Amino acid sequence: MENLKTFSRRTFLKGIAASAVLLPGMQLSADTKIIGRQKIRKLSGTEFYLTIDKTLVNVTKEPYYAKTVNGMLPGPTLIWHEGDEITIHVTNNLSVSSSIHWHGIILPYQMDGVPGISFNGIAPGETFTYKFTVNQNGTYWYHSHSGFQEQTGLYGSIIIYPKEKDPVEYDREYIMLLSDFSNEKPSAIYRNLKLSADYYNFNQRTVGDFFSEIKKEGFVEAFKRREIWNKKRMSDRDLADVTAYTYTYLMNGQAPWVRFQALFKKGEKIRLRFINASSMTFFDIRIPGIKMIVVATDGGNVQPVEVDEFRIGVAETYDVIVEPKDESAYAIFAQSIGRSGYALGNLTPDVTQLAKIPKMDKRQALTLVDMGMTEDVSKMRSMNTSGQKSANVMKKSIPLTKLPIRWGVGTTMRAMNPQYRLNDPGVGLRNNGRKVLTYADLRSLRSTQDDKYPDRQIILHLTGNMDRYMWSINGIPYSQSQPLKFYYGERLRITYINDTMMNHPMHLHGMWSDLESGDDNHLVRKHTIVSQPGSKISFRVTVNARGAWAYHCHLLYHLTDMFRKVVVV
């Protein structure tokens, strides 16, 4: 098997000399250290030395001071081996506190890297040493958990090779790390969203849209639907908070006009390890002309599923196998959920051979189903009755622990009749003529038949007020919340009810989330679970890690308030 390819980079257009020139509106203190962008490398072994740096980059055709790891954007790919004890020395060269969180890695809570919960953060000029044993394998990633640093470039990938023989066979592999990058300060993006939630959304309804609906459905039906949306003060075009108006979508740190190059030889099996390291963007991924075999998600192996396309939520990972049948070039196409832009790669036998760029799909509007209403459910081919039955009908009753909930100004949205929609590919992917992966397709390779039955269950409402850009859990923002108590040794069932019109990628630190995807004998182990608009979804957690843990939505500008501290007692 060929080693992971080292990613190449174009040097930024104006050269390192540009670092001597201040960018408009940016001021540097006398002790600010700026380094030039470095070529992306992979680092392997058991001891690592990482630096968090301010780095001059040019990925959008305009220079910008990013925050990076070892001067690389994305950071270096870390290669680990299952069973090894890993030591990582992280030195903060910034003028502000920083951190690194090892996303999806099971480790002692003191090593988790979340300031205010697991440690104090890494102060300017200081070094923090992480040390833990690697007890898993697969595709993962790391990122800052301080402020909005993740948005400015502080993230990278992790590959952990298994101790035993890998059940997935392949000849060559590539990391496919997706991200969204902006030359606009993250604090400015957040401020704009607070001032106007649709600040970056130019996909608004017009009078022409209403007349088209009248022609298709009749005046009464069209008016009735529009009245429902207006009363809720919601837009059926609100697919993404932040769009290509400010974002450039990157694949392995390269903009679409550069194109990341993935080489292959005819007949090879290629493993593509997709990581969504973006701050706010869901991507829909396809390689026109090639089927993809999904073999893993969030580091865990799954029974192979052949698809044409899959959606990857923020912080999720999916591994796929592709096998080009000829020596053509193929586009690795990752369009944003809002269809405002895309990241692009080139799978080719020759770097001079470029694939034709696919056209982006037309935007699909949200439906009343996405509002959590029963209307239109019967019309959707994507309702999964078997998955719904598995999620609803349990072998025996499970005690419900009721949690505080608050309805009010921060919860203007409410799902009227949320359903399990495991076989729903989601808005933008329904009935598009392609085989699209859904959670109902995922079954773990390992058997979960003998896993402990849940001892109790809790329900978490994902809540918000889109007009005022307010987010919360159970209507209570993090600043006003009490920690969730998990009990060491228990098996817990958690259900999300999404009372908003947004997809929320929810991440529980420190413990696995066993998704109820329709087959109780093969529950899929994940670290990030996407909760679709107006729906509900359930998973189980074996509480086997003492300490304090973060639990939050992984959309960066939701994270501040859609967040809980979990204490395992």
With tokens 């228990």, the residue in question is 490
> What is the C-alpha to C-alpha distance for residues 290 and 279, in angstroms, rounded to an integer?
28
- Neighbouring-strand partners of residue 68: 53
Q: Which residues contact 328 (CB under 8 A, 6 or more apart)?
A: 289, 349, 353, 355
With tokens 């608050």, the residue in question is 406
| pLDDT score recorded for residue 424 | 95
| pLDDT score recorded for residue 364 | 85
| pLDDT score recorded for residue 412 | 87
Residue 171: C-alpha distances to residues 1, 159, 168, 266, 272 (Å):
5, 16, 10, 11, 11
Residues 437, 512: contact at Cβ < 8 Å? no
Q: Which DSSP helix (H) or strand (E) runs through 159?
A: strand 155-161
Give the chain's length.
569
For the segment 194-244, what is each residue's pLDDT rounded down to a tens digit? 999 889 986 654 545 544 655 676 666 655 555 555 555 556 667 899 999
> What is the C-alpha to C-alpha distance for residues 563 and 464, in angstroms, rounded to an integer?
12
517 or 6: which carries more pLDDT confidence?
517
With a cut of 90, say whether residue 140 has pLDDT above it.
yes
In this predicted structure, which of 27-31, 36-40, 390-394 has the lowest mean pLDDT? 27-31
With tokens 């009078």, the residue in question is 207
> What are the contacts of 436-439 at 24+ separation with CB within 8 A?
436/307, 436/308, 436/309, 436/310, 436/311, 437/294, 437/305, 437/307, 437/309, 437/310, 437/311, 437/318, 438/382, 438/384, 439/387, 439/515, 439/517, 439/524, 439/530, 439/537
Structure confidence at residue 304 as a pLDDT band (50, 70, 90): very high
As a whole number, mean pLDDT of residues 360-384 equals 65
Q: Which DSSP helix (H) or strand (E) runs through 191?
A: helix 186-195
Structure confidence at residue 32 as a pLDDT band (50, 70, 90): low
Q: Which residues contact 426 (CB under 8 A, 6 or more apart)?
A: 311, 337, 503, 532
> What is the C-alpha to C-alpha distance for residues 4 and 395, in angstroms, rounded to an integer?
45
Residues 109, 133: contact at Cβ < 8 Å? no
In this predicted structure, which of 14-28, 192-206, 460-474, 545-559 has the lowest mean pLDDT? 14-28
Which residue type sits at 271?
R
> What is the C-alpha to C-alpha distance for residues 183 and 435, in angstroms, rounded to an integer?
36
Give the residue from 274, 266, 313 showing the smallest Cα distance to 293. 274
| pLDDT score recorded for residue 390 | 43
With a cut of 50, say whether residue 515 has pLDDT above it.
yes
| pLDDT score recorded for residue 22 | 36
Q: Which residues contact 101 (CB under 8 A, 6 or more apart)?
A: 112, 113, 114, 142, 143, 144, 145, 509
Residues 481, 473: contact at Cβ < 8 Å? yes
With a cut of 60, say whether residue 15 has pLDDT above it.
no
- Tell me phi and psi for residue 520, to 5 degrees: -65, -20
With tokens 């007692």, the residue in question is 569
Helix and strand numbers (H, E) in the chain are: 4, 33
| pLDDT score recorded for residue 4 | 38
Give the residue from 392, 394, 369, 383 showing the smallest Cα distance to 422. 383
With a cut of 70, say whether residue 245 has pLDDT above it.
yes
220 or 286: which carries more pLDDT confidence?
286
Helix axes 219-231, 207-217, angle to 10 degrees: 130
> What is the C-alpha to C-alpha distance for residues 358 and 344, in angstroms, rounded to an integer?
10
Give the residue from 169, 505, 136 showing the smallest Cα distance to 304. 169
321 or 211: which carries more pLDDT confidence?
321
As a whole number, mean pLDDT of residues 26-42 equals 72
Structural tokens at position 224? 């009735």
| pLDDT score recorded for residue 368 | 73
Structural tokens at position 386? 């078997």
With a cut of 90, say whether residue 248 has pLDDT above it.
yes
| pLDDT score recorded for residue 370 | 78
> What is the C-alpha to C-alpha distance for residues 404 and 475, in angstroms, rounded to an integer?
9
Q: Which residues contact 545 (CB under 8 A, 6 or more apart)?
A: 106, 108, 109, 510, 511, 568
Mean of all residue pLDDT scores within the chain: 88
> What is the C-alpha to C-alpha distance for residues 10 and 1, in angstroms, rounded to an integer?
27
| pLDDT score recorded for residue 372 | 73
With a cut of 60, say whether residue 5 has pLDDT above it.
no
391 or 303: which carries more pLDDT confidence?
303
Structural tokens at position 503? 């997809």
> What is the C-alpha to C-alpha distance for residues 211 and 207, in angstroms, rounded to an integer?
6
Structural tokens at position 520? 């109780």
Residues 63, 145: contact at Cβ < 8 Å? no
| pLDDT score recorded for residue 25 | 36
> What is the C-alpha to C-alpha distance for residues 483 and 494, in angstroms, rounded to an integer?
15
Query: In percent, how much of the chain has pLDDT > 70?
Result: 84
In this predicted structure, which of 13-17, 348-352, 404-408, 555-559 has the lowest mean pLDDT? 13-17
As a whole number, mean pLDDT of residues 136-142 equals 98
In this predicted structure, which of 6-10, 150-154, 351-355 has the lowest mean pLDDT? 6-10
277 or 369: which carries more pLDDT confidence?
277
> What is the C-alpha to C-alpha distance for residues 469 and 466, in angstroms, rounded to an integer?
5
Structure confidence at residue 2 as a pLDDT band (50, 70, 90): very low
Choose from 32-46, 218-232, 441-455 the range with maximum mean pLDDT.
441-455
With a cut of 60, say whether residue 568 has pLDDT above it.
yes
As a whole number, mean pLDDT of residues 250-278 equals 97
> What is the C-alpha to C-alpha distance for residues 439 and 516, in angstroms, rounded to an integer?
9
14 or 396: which carries more pLDDT confidence?
396
Q: Which residues contact 126 (CB under 8 A, 6 or more apart)?
A: 91, 92
> What is the C-alpha to C-alpha distance for residues 168 and 272, in angstroms, rounded to an integer?
12
| pLDDT score recorded for residue 135 | 97
Report helix, strand or coil for 311: strand
How many beta carbons lie within 10 A of that of residue 224, not counting itself? Answer: 12
- Neighbouring-strand partners of residue 54: 34, 67
With a cut of 70, say whether residue 496 has pLDDT above it.
yes
| pLDDT score recorded for residue 365 | 80
